[in-house]
Chains A and B, each alone.
Chain A
Amino acid sequence: MIENWFLILGFSAALLAVGLYALLTMRNVIKLFIGFEVISKGVSLALVGTGFARSHVLLAQSLVITFIVVEVSIVATALALIINIVRKTNSLDVRKLTKLRG
């Protein structure tokens, strides 16, 4: 059981690394949010894996459900924001957002 836990934690850390890479290097705004989604997958995997290893799956499940609801809310808001950004700047490039206009 504990070996399984280490395996799951390792994979969730790998998912975190992939998401972090996307957040640090990508220029496309939608890609940034795909990176955020990958990170959230790693977190929910770590939560359920820890619950499974410590025999508290029910609690882990309820936490993951709360996490998913928060995630959906964030993604809906962020995508609405992205659509507004594209309407204003006509581009998905994050570097265009540095040009502030008064």
Chain B
Amino acid sequence: MIGQILLLSGLLLFSILAVLAKDLIKSAISLALASLILGIIFFLMGAPYAGVFEISVVAGLITVLFMLTIALTKAGGDVRESKISTLVFPVFFILVGLIDIFVMKGLLPKLQILQSGAETGTFAEVLWKQRTFDLVGQLAVILAGVFAVLALFRKKDNHD
């Protein structure tokens, strides 16, 4: 229990660092560390496949994409964030936390839990047989992403 709280606190801390750090590279690295901790939490919860995806894709691929974008957009220069926004952060965080606690206390016990049978089979059976339509959706999303990136980086036509 204490280990879990420590890991969750680490995840929150690195996420806050990612948002509040002034240097963009430090932000991207903090985000990768947060993903790494989230992957470890997934492993501990008995979700190894989600953990592997989280660490390899989110902590690896997305961080590389962020680094690449930061390197390519250096010409953009620094953007000054307003000083008030940093001061507002603790107030905003506590306010959202209080609202969350009240809503969860009031609403969650009233929610009816849907009865369902115990989960059987392996992960492969659940993914390939029960969630087949999700896989079709994934393919469509990947194709959409590829076409979008191709369209955004296409060379300008001389006739235009």
Contacts and interface: CB of A to CB of B under 8 A. Distances in A.
Interface in A48-102: 48-49, 51-52, 54-66, 68-77, 79-84, 86, 90-93
Contacts of A58: 119, 121-123, 126
B46 A18 contact: no
B112 interface: no
Interface in B82-118: 82, 85, 88-89, 92-93, 96-97, 100-101, 104, 108, 113, 116, 118
A17 B97 contact: yes
Interface size class of A (residues with CB under 8 A): 35 or more
Nearest to A6: B104
Interface residues of B, number: 77
Main secondary structure of the interface of B (DSSP, over half): helix
A77 B149 CA distance: 6
A48 B4 CA distance: 14
Contacts of B46: 52, 57
Interface string A1-34: 0001011111101111111111001111011011
A34 B18 contact: yes
Given A17-B93, A68-B54, A27 B79 contact: yes
B47 A64 contact: yes
Interface of A: 4, 6-11, 13-22, 25-28, 30-31, 33-35, 37-38, 41, 44-45, 48-49, 51-52, 54-66, 68-77, 79-84, 86, 90-93
Among all A-B residue pairs, the 9 with the closest Cβ atoms: A73-B145, A17-B96, A25-B85, A92-B76, A80-B152, A28-B79, A13-B100, A64-B50, A86-B73
